[in-house]
Structure 1
Amino acid sequence: MEPVIVIGTLHLRADRADEARGVIASVVKQTHQEPGCLTYAAHEVADDSLTVVVIEKWASQQDLDDHNTAPWLAEALSRVGELLTGAPQIQVLTPLGYGTTDKASLR
């Protein structure tokens, strides 16, 4: 099976950014315990502290599907929703394979 790479972008409300970061930190901690989670890392954009990017790597599509349907995640997303300026942007990536094989993919 091929690993699955996901990028999630969250734009935090300035007046509730610390609260949003707390929820995000909790999601990261819980996600690290899930089967198939290879990477789940939250990063702040260097020149925009109100934008958080989550980089995910899952062992399989099934592992990602299980994560996305976990009841605890639905609860966390409902809490964080009001702390964002809009819906999270979620992108599942497919490598193009340009360049040398060992450097052309996050997989």
Structure 2
Amino acid sequence: MTDLSNIVLLKARAGKSDQLGAALKELVKPTRQEPGCAICELNQSGDDPNTWMVYERWAGQAAFDSHMKQPYVARFLQQLDELVSDPPEVRPFQHRY
């Protein structure tokens, strides 16, 4: 089994940073409770308060795929277009050490 880590970068629309942060925060607790989730962290840039980063680590691709099918993720994705100025940038990594 190969661990999968994702770094997700999101840029809030002007005036929507607090709303985006609140919506992301609502994802953290239930995500951490999912089987296969090792880490889920939410971070806001110190240089640009409109930039948010989610770091998550999963037991593998199947665990992440299951996460993406959760109802609370679907609800978040439905409101994403009104909160972000650009599509989220997802950078996948595999744990090596």
- By the TM > 0.5 criterion, same fold? yes
CA distance in 1 between partners of 2:29 and 2:78 (Å) = 17
List runs of 5+ in structure 2 lacking aligned partners: none
- Percent pairwise identity: 31
CA distance in 2 between partners of 1:17 and 1:50 (Å) = 5
- Letter of the 2:15 counterpart: D
Deviation at 1:18, TM superposition (A): 1.1
TM-score by length of 1: 0.82
- Post-superposition Cα deviations, 1:21-56, rounded to whole Å, max 9, x if no partner, equal 110000112211111110111111221111001111
In structure 2, the residue matched to 1:42 is 42
In structure 2, the residue matched to 1:100 is none
In structure 2, the residue matched to 1:77 is 77
In structure 2, the residue matched to 1:89 is 89
Larger CA deviation: 7-16 vs 69-78: 69-78
**Superposed structure 1 runs of 4+ greater than 6 Å apart:** none
Deviation at 1:15, TM superposition (A): 1.1
**What is the count of residue pairs matched by the alignment?**
97
Which structure has the larger Rg? 1
List runs of 5+ in structure 1 lacking aligned partners: 96-104
In structure 2, the residue matched to 1:3 is 3
Superposition RMSD in Å: 1.5
In structure 1, the residue matched to 2:33 is 33
Q: Identify the structure with bigger relative contact order (alpha carbons < 8 Å, sequence gap 6+).
A: 2
CA distance in 2 between partners of 1:24 and 1:59 (Å) = 21
Q: What SS does the corresponding residue of 1:49 show, helix, strand or coil?
A: coil
In structure 1, the residue matched to 2:17 is 17
Q: What SS does the corresponding residue of 1:43 show, helix, strand or coil?
A: strand
In structure 2, the residue matched to 1:101 is none
- Letter of the 1:16 counterpart: K
CA distance in 2 between partners of 1:78 and 1:28 (Å) = 17
